[in-house]
Amino acid sequence: MNRDNNNPVYTISAAAELLGISIPTLRMYEKEGLIIPFKKESNQRRYSQADLDRIKCIRETINGTKISIEGIKHLLSLVPCWKIKNCSTDERAVCEAFISHDKPCWTYSHKNNLCSEISCITCEVYTKLSDCKKVKETLKSYL
Amino acid sequence: MNRDNNNPVYTISAAAELLGISIPTLRMYEKEGLIIPFKKESNQRRYSQADLDRIKCIRETINGTKISIEGIKHLLSLVPCWKIKNCSTDERAVCEAFISHDKPCWTYSHKNNLCSEISCITCEVYTKLSDCKKVKETLKSYL
DNA sequence: GATAGTTGATATTTATAAATATCATGTTTG
DNA sequence: CAAACATGATATTTATAAATATCAACTATC
């Protein structure tokens, strides 16, 4: 939402510096599907303030609550994206995000469905669920 | 449901033997709120076949999928017990299981609400959710 | 009433997730 | 066209969750 917050201005070294962590750690979080940094045409990553905030939250969850990365992925897989995006029954039937329960929806390729039209990096399912503490509240709002 | 499966016949040493794990591990799972073994008047634990199956599943989750115990607890906290048991709005407002998101509902004391009348050990919320892989299916059925 | 098995608690070991270091190769920028 | 920084990949280290061992006190069973 906030243009400034979502402006991808930090290089990976700047982001690592600001967060006090190493560069490979940032790449690992991305590989695990916890963050989707902006990528330039040349494939270089650029991080926004929103990304940094998200990563801070991820780290609090891993190091504070002791939920493992695998646990966080499973928790985020429960976000009812099909409700949020209003998927049809037919689309759900063939959607990995709807069917599986081990990874967040934005880690799938989304071919042949409603989400193939849009970019996960700006999708509300991704942006609003930076914090897996919010999963239950989100679920309640649809139950 | 099955009388045989839920018959608490195994001592803790027999259960540990059958599962190929140590006694302190069984006590740990209980302390973490993942299992509720039957307790005799003398406070001794007795395990049923259903308990053993549940523990096998817990171990597969911890050692197979790499979700930590803390992660499993968080996942199980998302089970919509208030829907399953049909809690009133007033009851939900003061229920820790409804409000919090870090432990399964059956780990709370349930004073002053609908659940204070019943025993978690036989409650369908506990018995049907031995496997946190079932959480998403359960959620879908209420969404 | 003696033996075997239980209790909870604390201390220790083991297994492994999380984080980092290092690499050869590629890209950006002054 | 160098110097600085990026890339992905693999190897290594570190931190800690998970499991176990051990304890003194208590309970069951024969």
Chain centroid to Cα B97, Å, comes to: 13
**Torsional sign, CA B6, B8, B14, B17:** positive
Q: What is the pLDDT of residues B77-132, one digit of tens each?
A: 999 999 999 999 999 999 999 999 999 999 998 887 889 889 999 999 999 998 87
Which nucleotide shows the minimum CA-to-C1' distance to residue A58?
Answer: C18
> B45 near A40, Cβ under 8 Å?
no
pLDDT value of position B46: 97
The two most distant CA atoms of chain A are separated, in Å, by 46
Tell me the percentage of chain B whose pLDDT exceeds 90: 87
Within an 8 Å CB–CB cutoff, is residue A18 touching chain B? no
Q: Which residues of B touch A74 (CB under 8 A)?
A: 65, 67, 71, 75, 132
Could you list the beta-strand ranges (E) of B2-133.
Answer: 38-39, 45-46
**Shortest alpha-carbon distance between residue A78 and chain B (Å):** 6
Q: Which residues of A touch B80 (CB under 8 A)?
A: 139, 143
Determine whether the distance from the CB of A40 to the nearest atom of strand C is below 7 Å. Answer: yes
Q: Cβ of B75 and A77 within 8 Å?
A: no
Within an 8 Å CB–CB cutoff, is residue B143 touching chain A? yes
Per DSSP, B47 falls in state B
Q: Which residues of A touch B143 (CB under 8 A)?
A: 80, 83, 139, 142-143
d(CA B62, CA A71) in angstroms, rounded, equals 10
Q: Which of A9-18, A127-136, B27-36, B99-108 has the lowest mean pLDDT?
A: A127-136
Within an 8 Å CB–CB cutoff, is residue B84 touching chain A? no
pTM: 0.94
> A106 near A125, Cβ under 8 Å?
yes
Q: What is the pLDDT of residues A1-51, one digit of tens each?
A: 566 899 999 999 999 999 999 999 999 999 999 999 999 999 999 999 999
pLDDT value of position B3: 63
Within an 8 Å CB–CB cutoff, is residue B75 touching chain A? yes
Q: How confident is the model at residue B1 (pLDDT cuts 50, 70, 90)?
A: low
DSSP per residue over A57-115, as a string?
A: HHHHIIIII---HHHHHHHHTTS-HHHHTT--HHHHHT-HHHH--SS-GGGS--TTSGG
